[in-house]
Chains A and B, each alone.
Chain A
């Protein structure tokens, strides 16, 4: 159960503009890897490279020792699920239909009973069974995100890639979705790789964190070693205070940006305190 993912010296550029340079990473089964970094630092590109959406050089991404480029797209789809940053459908599909599409890599000619069974169980498990016959476009952002995750789960993947799965959600949905992912890693030994903006959430839910700066890995390790005041200042260019949260996990309070504007914009009460 579970697969090992290796990334060896991965570089990628869009028409000559480098997006990733010399990224090397390793991830074991059942681990949750949180990728953080400023906008445009290459988080999404890294996820897309892993999944062959973007074409990489030979032998840079290996699953259990095998180059992803030698694994057929269809077989790869049975190993790896992908949840993109934003999902919008031009044409209306019901929730059941959308999740059923996750079975695509398994479908030969027509749907089997097993396909329907798996979809129904995933919907029930994620608590969105009541939405099954609703149209995807009519759901709220949080509900939509759960549906998209359900679709990725229908692929029965061993590795799950998620591009900012919580950025547009309220705190309840953020927690729910991250709990779903954690329990998936624990119970099914599925490796979960997610890019995130919220450093506090990332440090709370990741086993390992990677901080990316301009396409290069700046820091990698457990949340305590990655989320430090120095790292945040170098990578994001803001001064912050890192404290322990009530759960004993690093918690970031941003204070001041390089050009010192934030403090002037603080409500007067807090500004004097600072």
Chain B
């Protein structure tokens, strides 16, 4: 029999192990960044890339600034793209974890809840018919449209669910309905699309890509996404308690409806912000939480940071492969995430004895 003191020590040991795990995934992410910055179209390799970056950070020190073209490739093309991939992976993964957690369903993703198809519909509307919210700012018409319709979908889902009382079941069922509605309208647009080019652009958008990444995009997404991730992490205890069921959560002093609503809004905000810039990137938000749960367990205090870093790492790795595997052709990143992620996922699934859900 274990005494209380031993139990406390055992618990602290488990906690340090989790912190160590998160830290090592961080290092993996850092290594992925180094690899990613050294690969790709154009000549700059590892040494030059590092020199350019260090020169930019510490202009007073004696680092080789490299040629003009090297500087543009590294600073204006690769780095913003890497930054966007990291923030996108982090945000999508965290949203997935929070939504799965609060709805107590391991299959929940932005697809199931209608957010992705609504974003697709909004983007297609802009691409094919150039119809949009705030259409006068034509540069951003696709982005604004995608964002607007994602949020509209979420409001629809919550509105429908509200009629029967917001619970995880009603939210999921309403989400599936809304998702089908927007997919149908998206298909309709594709069917009616007058020109081949527009159709191709829609399909490309639906597969997701970081091709258009720029510092502008990064500067908009980073504050929004990191702020929502922080708010999500602040709710960790509420999310833990929610996984015991809504009744028990109430008996532990948690307003389950409020936590559900906040989580849905935060999750949608992060997801919509990201996919309106990158196009629909699925799968990361479904798979990262599962990977994280298998590695670190379900306690959201550790799950959310772990999942965030895993998502960032996975998406950055996928994008690096997507742009380097067959240059100058760039694969849509959505295809690569699945091609890389699925075998990895199955490997972890099979190599773990422990059941992670169900």
CB pair B253–A77 under 8 Å, yes or no, is: yes
Give complex CA distance A78, B252 in Å: 8
Residue in B11, B247, B250, B254 whose beta carbon sits within 8 Å of that of A116 in the complex: B11
CB pair B298–A92 under 8 Å, yes or no, is: yes
Give complex CA distance A75, B254 in Å: 11
CB interface residues, B 293-351, toward A, < 8 Å: 293, 297-299
Q: Chain B 242-263, CB within 8 Å of chain A: the 1/0 string?
A: 0111011011111100000000
- The distance from the CB of A117 to the nearest CB of chain B, in whole angstroms, is 7
CB of B159 closer than 8 Å to a CB of A: no
Chain B residues near A119 (CB-CB < 8 A): 7
Chain B residues near A138 (CB-CB < 8 A): 354-355
CB pair B252–A104 under 8 Å, yes or no, is: yes
- The distance from the CB of A161 to the nearest CB of chain B, in whole angstroms, is 8
- The distance from the CB of B173 to the nearest CB of chain A, in whole angstroms, is 17
CB pair B244–A101 under 8 Å, yes or no, is: yes
Q: Number of residue pairs across A and B with beta carbons under 8 Å?
A: 126
Q: A93-B299, A117-B4, A127-B1 are known contacts. Are A74 and B240 too (CB-CB below 8 A)?
A: no
Give complex CA distance A161, B244 in Å: 16
CB of A144 closer than 8 Å to a CB of B: no
CB of B237 closer than 8 Å to a CB of A: yes
CB of A183 closer than 8 Å to a CB of B: no
CB of A12 closer than 8 Å to a CB of B: no
- The distance from the CB of B44 to the nearest CB of chain A, in whole angstroms, is 44
CB of A141 closer than 8 Å to a CB of B: no
Interface residue stretch chosen among B82-90, B99-107, B111-119, B194-202: B99-107
Give complex CA distance A165, B185 in Å: 51
CB interface residues, B 89-130, toward A, < 8 Å: 101, 104-106
CB of A120 closer than 8 Å to a CB of B: yes
CB of A48 closer than 8 Å to a CB of B: yes
CB of B218 closer than 8 Å to a CB of A: no
CB pair A132–B240 under 8 Å, yes or no, is: no
Interface residue stretch chosen among A28-36, A81-89, A218-226: A81-89
CB pair A51–B7 under 8 Å, yes or no, is: no
CB of A102 closer than 8 Å to a CB of B: yes
CB pair A129–B3 under 8 Å, yes or no, is: yes
Q: A120-B7, A120-B8 are known contacts. Are A53 and B243 too (CB-CB below 8 A)?
A: no
Chain A residues near B251 (CB-CB < 8 A): 51, 53, 77, 80-82, 161
- The distance from the CB of A249 to the nearest CB of chain B, in whole angstroms, is 31
CB of A105 closer than 8 Å to a CB of B: yes
CB pair B240–A48 under 8 Å, yes or no, is: no
CB pair A105–B250 under 8 Å, yes or no, is: no
Residue in A72, A73, A75, A107 whose beta carbon sits within 8 Å of that of B250 in the complex: A73
- The distance from the CB of A139 to the nearest CB of chain B, in whole angstroms, is 13
- The distance from the CB of A124 to the nearest CB of chain B, in whole angstroms, is 5
CB of B57 closer than 8 Å to a CB of A: no
- The distance from the CB of B240 to the nearest CB of chain A, in whole angstroms, is 6
Most A Cβ at <10 Å: residue of B1, B14, B106, B253: B253
Q: A90-B105, A107-B237 are known contacts. Are A48 and B1 too (CB-CB below 8 A)?
A: no
Give complex CA distance A123, B3 in Å: 9
Chain B residues near A87 (CB-CB < 8 A): 244-245, 248
CB pair B7–A91 under 8 Å, yes or no, is: no
Chain B residues near A93 (CB-CB < 8 A): 240, 243, 297-299
CB of B138 closer than 8 Å to a CB of A: no
CB of B10 closer than 8 Å to a CB of A: yes
CB pair B250–A104 under 8 Å, yes or no, is: no
Q: A104-B253, A124-B4, A137-B355 are known contacts. Are A97 and B106 too (CB-CB below 8 A)?
A: no
CB pair B252–A90 under 8 Å, yes or no, is: no
- The distance from the CB of B332 to the nearest CB of chain A, in whole angstroms, is 31
CB pair B4–A104 under 8 Å, yes or no, is: no
CB pair A89–B252 under 8 Å, yes or no, is: no
CB of A239 closer than 8 Å to a CB of B: no
Chain A residues near B358 (CB-CB < 8 A): 90
Chain A residues near B3 (CB-CB < 8 A): 124, 129
CB pair A90–B106 under 8 Å, yes or no, is: yes
CB of B191 closer than 8 Å to a CB of A: no
Give complex CA distance A46, B45 in Å: 70
CB pair B356–A91 under 8 Å, yes or no, is: yes
Closest partner residue, chain B, to A137 (CB atom): B355
Residue in A82, A90, A135 whose beta carbon sits within 8 Å of that of B243 in the complex: A90
Closest partner residue, chain A, to B9 (CB atom): A120
Give complex CA distance A121, B243 in Å: 24
B-side interface residues toward A, CB under 8 Å?
A: 1-8, 10-12, 14, 101, 104-106, 237, 240-241, 243-245, 247-248, 250-255, 293, 297-299, 354-358
With A80-B251, A97-B240, A138-B355 given, can you name 9 additional A-B contacts, CB distance below 8 Å?
Answer: A48-B247, A84-B247, A90-B105, A92-B356, A93-B299, A96-B14, A129-B7, A132-B11, A161-B251
Contact sample, A vs B, 28 pairs, CB 8 Å cutoff: A51-B250, A52-B250, A77-B252, A82-B248, A82-B251, A87-B245, A87-B248, A90-B106, A90-B243, A91-B101, A91-B357, A92-B293, A92-B357, A93-B243, A93-B297, A93-B299, A94-B297, A97-B298, A104-B253, A104-B254, A117-B4, A120-B7, A120-B8, A121-B4, A124-B3, A127-B1, A129-B7, A132-B10
